Structure 1
Amino acid sequence: MSGCVPTEKSATQASKAPAGGSQENVELRFSWWGSQGRHDRTLKLIDKFQQLHPNIKIKPEYTSFDGYWEKLSTQVAANNAPDIMQMSILYIKEYSDRGVLGDLTPYLNKELHVDDLNKDVLKNQGTIGGKLTGVPVSDNASVMIYNKEMYQQAGIEPPKMDMTWKEYFDKAREIKSKLGDKVYGSFDLSTSLEGFMYYSFSVGDTMYKNNKLGYNDQTLKNWLKMWDDARKEGIVPPAATTASSLPIGNADPNKDALMKGLVPIMGPQFTATFPAYENVMKDKVDMVSYPKDKNTGSVLETAMFLSASAKTKHPKEAAMFLDFFLNTKEAADILETDRGLPENKKMLEYLTPKFTDRDKKMVKMLEHVSSIQPSWYDAGPKGTGEVTKLFEQTVQKQQFGKITIDDAAAEFRKEADKIFEKNN
């Protein structure tokens, strides 16, 4: 992290000065995903911004993580994208390459200040094709979130930090044997391309190379066999249960197997989603790093970005809102760590004295992952969103026994590389 931006005074001034001296009435649509707690905080932030800028109205649009991307894709296709949108590392490159996201560079050091944000993230993840299309909101590390009470109920030690994959499945086997038929030791992560990517990093493989899949086929076969064995043993749910459960990583704890008590541990998740779980499951949850092999499976990444539409009629006012969101104490007081630990160094320092035990856990986890030589999240070439869905569909066929592991690995590579070739 490196710092410099505006002084505290100049950041506040930026949030109060109307763009270009204009007082015309402006309406901006702002879309985001998250849990109800995030929605409530963001609506309060919008109210505060509108108090400071009576001529700018922010119209909120929000949903869960899985519903968000389907809705955004439909809006973009209909030429009706929101003016401001929360953007994931999963999709920022794809939406940038498609010309959906606007270049924020013309507004730097005027309506929008970024000097207190991580320069490497701005350069390597927020800037795509020479255009700054996303400003980072918060820092993140991939983790597994677990229910402490379920391990206590079983009378066994909870998962430990930096456990190996063997230790992970041993723990799953142990808790399954203690808690009976209605509980499984782990969710079946096999359909998660993200989960597989972290596994690939842990065994020393890569995910993408030269706009194609970059891993060795044996790595995918090993991943699928690991989960297939666990499924046959009964320590993860059967295929039908997994398919009927809500998506992994939907960022809403009300909608997944951990909250339902089906499993005691869930992932891949992130430090940024820990507050959402903690809000719902008070004092019941904790987190550990993603399982490892010769390397850690945990990665570092930006929790999310804020972007403006390339077609917004009010780019200056959109940049003003982004500046308020990222650079002001008013916004920090409202959001706290709901979206993760702030990327803005000064806002992080401002909030630190107010940190709860939950916030301190997030800081400690980020520091731990940073110290164990993690990989950086690889968002992949253009088309990765489509490839992610393909991975889930292909692995589901293998889960249900419709194709073999070898066939699944071959089919996925063939079809994924077709998608990448079409898009790049």
Structure 2
Amino acid sequence: MQSCTCNGLHRTARATQMRSRRSYPHPAQHSRTLQLFTLALLSILLLLAISACGGSQAQSGGKVNLTYALWDSNEQVGYQKSIDVFEKQHPNIKVTIQQTDYDQYWQKLDTQIAAGAAPDIFWNDLTYFPHYVVQNQLMDVTPLMEKDKLDTSIYYPALLKQYTYQGKYYGLPKDWDTIAIFYNKSLFQKQNITVPKELIWNPTDGGSFVKLAQQLTVDKSGLHPDQSGFNAGSTSQYGFISANLNQEIYWNYMAMNGGSFMDKPFGQHFLYNQPANIQALQYLVDLISKWHVSPPASETNNSGDAMTQLFARGKVAMIETGSWNVSYLSKQVNFPFGIMELPAGPKGRISVLNGLADSIYTKTAHPQEAWELFKWLASTQSQEIVASNGIVWPGVKSAAPLFAAYWKKQNIDVSPFLNEAEGQTVSAPITPVFNEAESKIDDTFNQVWLGQLSVPQGTTKAVQDADNVIQSNGS
């Protein structure tokens, strides 16, 4: 029988480095028509490829070929090392990694799913998991876990829960990240500031965190915001960046002020207009307009990339971002930097804990082999291999020291992220149409950060628009 090669459609352009691996995308409406056309064309091409291949992945030499899809080119190296070990243990299985940058990853996956030709296993995140699970595109692995007696106690409980639906498992923890403060050690030394062991914030006087940010904010005359004569229009160095970034910034402060994000998992109502959330958002806006320790949104474009670039250029003393940026910033800055835990709020210190998971495509042509790979990727041995590369914190708790040890050799203490993961955490809102709803919220919150709408006005409008999206989609 003549064999058929189906690899051509899996090729992608050379990957660019991901700067905000976990950033949640907001669809560009002006390109919607072009995207739909592209999706339709790719669907036709995939269907033709499937038809030519007999409806399943090709096999050669008696081997089963599996495809594993991911988006981070940095992590691909570590996963290839893991898969090399897996293939030696399973000589009948060949695994091909399909890497696609985050901004194109989900569009491509949707196209493949529409054509019935999705990768056997693919990376999943909390913003897309609800969409795929309610569409029945993810395999329920609960029976297989029970059959093979998988020990789920090796994972962080909060991560394990994230990829469950109606009491069933549709993924196991692959890795995780929390949010912390990155600080420029040189700028602290220049201002003769000792790095504090503990910081607090509150929505009334700002707390010790605002006082620290004021010490690190300087105008061209060398004055600080709490000094007479300070000129906010000629600031040469800022202490911190407040921006319209959900995971990296405002979800953490909402949670630390006692706020919630949604009425329930897979719910239909955002709660951003709760009094506690309005207070937290006002605090973040006040960092710009009242305390003058953050550049205005017109300078940062409410962008995670712009934030890290300002930090790398030495224009900002502190930024708040995730553990995925340790690797990126270590290559971008020419000064020593440190990491400290988030300032504790009225309800204590609470960080967003975001986990990624591997999921099995429900229509995989090789469910048993896909399960073997899935089980391997979720194992302690595999996650130790990946963690030792210093890219991500592993989902398996016992492998965490390997990630920390990698960065200790680079003179960077990453323990604040781990301390937060073991403390109070919160997860992203879960709804099948999160990205579309969040696009509405993002547009309105941009106006809030720019000072064009008050916080109460912005939250009222954002919740109304987002709720309409969810309810009109029948969530």
- TM-score, L = length of structure 1: 0.76
The corresponding residue for 1:388 is: 438
Of residues 386-395 and 109-118 in structure 1, the stretch that sits farther from structure 2 once superposed is: 109-118
**Please, which runs of 5 or more residues in structure 2 have no aligned partner?**
1-59, 221-233
1:329 corresponds, among 369, 381, 391, to 381
Matched residue SS, 1:206? coil
Selected match of 1:264 from 295, 317, 324: 317
Once the two structures are TM-superposed, the CA of residue 368 in structure 1 deviates from its matched residue by 5.6
Aligned residue type for 2:249: G
Following superposition, the deviation at residue 191 of structure 1 comes to 4.2
Partner of 1:228: 285
User: Is 1:411–2:469 an aligned residue pair?
Assistant: no
Is contact 2:390-2:406 (8 Å) kept? no
For CA contacts below 8 A with separation 6 or more, give which structure has more relative contact order: 1
Amino acid across the alignment from 1:241: E
Residue pair 1:145, 1:269 contacting (<8 A) in 2 also: no
Residue equivalent to 2:80: 43
Contact 1:189 1:267 in 2 (8 A): no
- In 1, Cα distance between the equivalents of 2:282 and 2:383? 47
Q: Secondary structure at the match of 1:295?
A: coil
Q: How does 1:242-321 map to 2 (within 5 A)?
A: 242-243=300-301, 245-247=303-305, 256-270=309-323, 273-278=325-330, 284-299=336-351, 301=353, 303-321=355-373
Q: Is the alpha carbon distance of 1:81 and 1:171 closer, same or farther for their aligned partners in structure 2, counting shifts above 3 Å?
A: farther
Q: Structure 1 residues 311, 402: closer, same or farther in 2, change over 3 A?
A: farther
Contact 1:151–1:264 (8 Å) recurs in 2: yes
Q: Which residue of 1 aligns with 2:99?
A: 62
* Corresponding letter in the other structure for 2:65: E
Which secondary structure does the structure 1 equivalent of 2:94 belong to?
Answer: strand
Q: CA deviation at 1:75?
A: 4.7
Distance in 2, matches of 1:358 and 1:283, equals: 17
Return the offset for 1:63. 4.8
Report the aligned-residue RMSD.
Answer: 3.7
* 2:180–2:342 CA contact under 8 A, matched in 1: yes
Secondary structure of the residue aligned to 2:154 is coil
Q: Compute the displacement of 1:214 (Å).
A: 3.0
- Report the equivalent of 1:161: 198
The amino acid of 1:285's aligned partner reads F
* CA distance in 2 between partners of 1:227 and 1:302 (Å): 22
Residues in 1 aligned to 2:168 and 2:61: alpha-carbon distance in whole angstroms = 28
Q: Distance in 1 between matches of 2:61 and 2:172?
A: 26
Does the residue aligned with 1:258 lie in a helix, a strand or coil? helix
Paired-residue identity, %: 21
Q: Could you give the per-residue CA deviations for residues 291-325 of structure 1, whole angstroms, max 9, x where no partner exists?
A: 33211342363532111122222222222222222
Q: How far did residue 281 of structure 1 move?
A: 5.1
Q: Does structure 1 conserve the Cα–Cα contact (< 8 Å) formed by 2:126 and 2:355?
A: yes
Taking the aligned partners of 2:466 and 2:155, their CA distance within structure 1 comes to 33
* Residue 218 (structure 1) aligned with residue 271 (structure 2): no
| Contact kept? 2:172, 2:358, Cα under 8 Å | yes
Shift of 1:134: 0.9
Match of 2:186 in 1: 149
Question: 1:26·1:57 contact (CA, 8 Å) conserved in 2?
Answer: yes
Q: Determine the C-alpha separation between the residues in 1 that align with 2:196 and 2:119.
A: 42
Unaligned runs of at least 5 residues, structure 1: 1-21, 250-254
Q: 1:302 to 1:391 in 2, by over 3 A?
A: closer
- For residues 354 and 28 of structure 1, do their structure 2 counterparts lie closer, same or farther at Cα, with a shift above 3 Å needed? same
Compute the displacement of 1:410 (Å): 1.4
In structure 1, what is the Cα distance between the partners aligned to 2:179 and 2:279? Answer: 21
- Would the aligned equivalents of 1:27 and 1:59 in 2 still touch at CA under 8 Å? yes
The verdict on how the C-alpha distance between 1:387 and 1:291 changes in structure 2, with shifts beyond 3 A counting, is farther
Q: Against the structure 1 CA distance between its residues 113 and 280, is the aligned structure 2 distance closer, same or farther, given a 3 Å change threshold?
A: farther
Q: Is the 8 A contact 2:67 2:119 kept in 1?
A: yes
Aligned: 1:205 with 2:259: yes
Displacement, 1:411? 0.8
1:235 is aligned with what amino acid? V
Match 2:218 to one of 177, 180, 188? 177
SS at match of 1:209: coil
Q: Using structure 2 for the length normalisation, give the TM-score.
A: 0.69
Is the 2:178–2:420 Cα contact (8 Å) retained in structure 1?
no
Shift of residue 417 of structure 1? 1.4
| Match of residue 100 from structure 1 | 137
Other structure's SS at 2:217 match: helix
For 2:301, give the aligned amino acid. Answer: A
Q: 1:290 to 1:341 in 2, by over 3 A?
A: same
Residue 52 of structure 1: how far off its partner (Å): 3.6
Count of equivalent residues: 393
1:81-115 Cα offsets, whole Å, 9 max, x none, are 33222222343233322323221224326679444
- For the residue of structure 2 that corresponds to 1:230, the secondary structure is helix
Asked if structure 1 preserves the Cα contact closer than 8 Å seen for 2:127 and 2:431, the reply is no
From 164, 168, 174, the equivalent of 1:131 is 168
